[in-house]
Amino acid sequence: MAASGPGDGRVMDGAGTAGGVGGSSPQASAAGGVGGREASSPQASAALAEQIRGLIRDVPDYPQQGILFKDITPLLADPGAFAAVIDALAAGHGPIDKVAGIEARGFILAAPVACRLSAGFVPVRKQGKLPAATYAQTYQLEYGTATIEVHQDAFAPGDRVLVVDDVLATGGTARATADLVRRSGAQVAGVVILLELAFLGGRSALGDLEVRALLAV
């Protein structure tokens, strides 16, 4: 499951409903720019944003009172919409060597994006989940810290890396992922997101990085 996490850069993970993203704000119409092997037109981007909006299920008061849970499993179950999302996430970035997916729902999107781009896929995982030597990056939560890791040999110097995740909340995890890419000597080509919780201001944590969301709420 996922609910908007206080002070972190993504959402709080739980058990039983993987594929959801959380937020507590009413939805507002906003389609971020999308990349692609060739970027889609504004009209196509707006149409996809509305399709995504229609396939995200709102679950009120889950996992706790006052949270409006955004469940993306209906979108993932729709083959046409899922394919369109992957195409849009993959579009407009130029040559990409690696696609970095952020644990855990980011894996669902990043792996097929890597296939679309004929690029490698790199999992960015929570601390202690990777078997070989890693780089670790700790980032601040509202009440404590969290750490993510990537294998030290995941990126080659000069690789152009696309960071993919399902949701942008306060930006901490995406920022930490970009820092890991750069520590490896690679370049961050951009950060692409399915759903941006714009009311949490996550873009401000990402500095000069190019950030694109298919839908912002």
Residue 118 is predicted with a pLDDT of 98
pLDDT band at residue 42 using 50, 70 and 90 as cut-offs: confident
Domain boundaries along the sequence of the chain: 2-216
0.85 surpassed by pTM: no
Mean pLDDT of 96-109: 96
Residue 100 burial (C-beta neighbours within 10 Å; 0-12, 13-18, 19+): buried
Position of tokens 């790199």? 122
Residue 26 is predicted with a pLDDT of 33
User: Which residue numbers are catalytic?
Assistant: 105, 142
Residue 40 is predicted with a pLDDT of 64
Report the mean per-residue pLDDT for the chain.
84
Q: How far apart are CA 3 and CA 61, in angstroms?
A: 10
> Is residue 145 within 8 Å of 177, Cβ to Cβ?
no
Flag whether pLDDT at 182 surpasses 90. Answer: yes
pLDDT per position as a tens digit, 134-179: 999 999 876 789 999 999 999 999 999 999 999 998 999 999 999 9
| The pair of three-digit structure tokens given for residue 179, joined into one six-digit string | 């820092």
What is the third-level CATH fold of 2-216?
A: Rossmann fold (3.40.50)
> Is residue 162 within 8 Å of 113, Cβ to Cβ?
yes
Residue 48 is predicted with a pLDDT of 96
Amino acid of residue 61: D
Flag whether pLDDT at 61 surpasses 90. Answer: yes
Flag whether pLDDT at 38 surpasses 70. Answer: no
Flag whether pLDDT at 113 surpasses 90. Answer: yes
> Is residue 168 within 8 Å of 211, Cβ to Cβ?
yes
Residue 43 is predicted with a pLDDT of 74
